[in-house]
Amino acid sequence: MDELGRIRGRRIHFAGSANQTVDKSKISYTQDLVKQLTNGILSQGGGLVVSVGAEPTHRDDPTIPLIFDWTVLETVVERLKTSSLNWPKTQGLPVIAVGLPGWKEKIPDRRKPIWERVLSTGFVELEQIPTGLSLGGILREQQERFGDILVAIGGGPGVRHLADLYISHSKHVLPLNVPLKVEKEGASEELYVKAMENPERFLEYIPTEEASAALSKLSLKNGLPRISEFEGKFLNFLSHLTGPKVFYIRSLNNKMPEYDIIEKFFRNVVDPVVRDSGYERFEVSTDVSNEAFLNVEIFRKLHSSSLVIADLTGLRPNCFMEMGYAFGQAKKVIMTVQDGTKLPFDSASIPCHFWSTLLRDEERKKAFEAFMIKNINRKPLVSLSRSYL
């Protein structure tokens, strides 16, 4: 995969805010910066995660927003007027908008036309938090579920919580240290310092030994560079971050009669589809392991994966166990099995792709792609937000 190709198929999440007392010119610069970075991400086939609802503005100028979500959505609309998106359809829609209950009534009048145009693009999926739940933590959980890279800009406790969520699932966190607070540093400034000290905790940059030096080139602490110059450095940095991981659950016992047909299905059908979707594969016993014990590696990789492909051909107990863990962690799970298999009761009620050995691989790929498009963003079986009730 070429470097900028690593951005394709990944959703970037700009999160943060500026303080009311910060100089207006600095906030305007940051808004213009986010707009340019958003445009660059879209041009490389990337997607976005945003919040929808209210938009607080500067006390001295109501045209200057203190958050970045509507700037991102406005940029999406403007880009789609002149360009198409190179986003992989197997990932669902490229832009995920998450709203708390009552979000629509909170949209500022000046942004309502933008929202109407956003809906008309057909590229935005709305995720609404259930009525009765209005905790910011629930909104952030939903955003993290769809995001691949968090770009933190200013902010406070909410940004720190988002960073913890992304890091806990081995996703990248890129803090930008533009000073958007007056009396004390913002969350992103604090996170930037920690990321410089220990970049491996925040992101997986290739090559690892160059992570701190590359991050230092994105510093905005002591001066605001030309936006076009910063955009190039930013996109180059993103291109060095490892892609989201897909974990394969499948029978790997080569003494089983169905092993060969499962192997052909994964190598000839699944591999090319998930690779084109922007994922990097991990398969037990096939890819390099860093753990001494296989069962430790299985659940560590499962926990940090963004997508799980669970093939139940052969009805192996360990496959059901691993799939259950993935569902329990609210992972995106694509379930597959050879045509003609009779699934047990509980799994039979879950959408499953039944693949055939009688079709050509190109036909099988199209069928698998169609199933992914329809099911990849299906709501999880277990909602982690229930813990807030």
> Is residue 185 predicted with pLDDT exceeding 70?
yes
> Is residue 17 predicted with pLDDT exceeding 90?
yes
pLDDT digits (tens, 9 = 90+) for 355-374: 999 999 999 999 999 999 99
> Is residue 271 predicted with pLDDT exceeding 90?
yes
Q: What is the mean pLDDT of residues 72-96?
A: 93
pLDDT, the chain, mean: 91
pLDDT at 296: 72
- pLDDT confidence band for 289 (50 / 70 / 90): low
Ranges of CATH 3.40.50.450 domains, the chain: 4-239
> Is residue 54 predicted with pLDDT exceeding 50?
yes
pLDDT at 66: 97
Contact (Cβ atoms closer than 8 angstroms) between residue 22 and residue 180: yes
> Is residue 204 predicted with pLDDT exceeding 70?
yes
- pLDDT confidence band for 1 (50 / 70 / 90): very low
Ranges of CATH 3.40.50.10140 domains, the chain: 245-387
pLDDT digits (tens, 9 = 90+) for 87-138: 999 999 999 999 998 999 999 999 999 999 999 999 999 998 877 666 788 8
Q: Percentage of residues in the chain with pLDDT exceeding 90?
A: 77
pLDDT digits (tens, 9 = 90+) for 209-244: 999 999 999 999 988 999 999 999 999 999 999 999
- 62-71, 183-192, 203-212: least confidently modelled range: 183-192
pLDDT digits (tens, 9 = 90+) for 302-346: 988 999 999 999 999 999 999 999 999 889 999 999 999 999 988
At the topology level, CATH places domain 4-239 in: Rossmann fold (3.40.50)
SS (H, E, C) the chain: CCCHHHCCCCEEEEEEECCCCCCHHHHHHHHHHHHHHHHHHHHCCCEEEEEECCCCEECCEEEEECCCHHHHHHHHHHHHHHCCCCCCHHHCCCEEEEECCCHHHHCCHHHHHHHHHHHHHCCEEEEECCCCCCCHHHHHHHHHHHCCEEEEEECCHHHHHHHHHHHHCCCEEEEECCCCCCCCCCHHHHHHHHHHHCHHHHCCECCHHHHHHHHHCCCCCCCCCCHHHHHHHHHHHHHCECCCEEEEECCCCCCCCCHHHHHHHHHHHHHHHHHHCCCEEEECCCCCCCCCCHHHHHHHHHHHCCEEEEECCCCCHHHHHHHHHHHHCCCEEEEEEECCCCCCHHHHCCCEEEECCCCCHHHHHHHHHHHHHHHCCCCCCCCHHHHHC
pLDDT at 389: 36
pLDDT at 370: 97
pLDDT at 330: 87
* 172 or 84, higher pLDDT: 172
Q: What is the mean pLDDT of residues 18-43?
A: 96
Q: What is the CATH number of domain 245-387?
A: 3.40.50.10140
Q: What is the mean pLDDT of residues 167-193?
A: 92
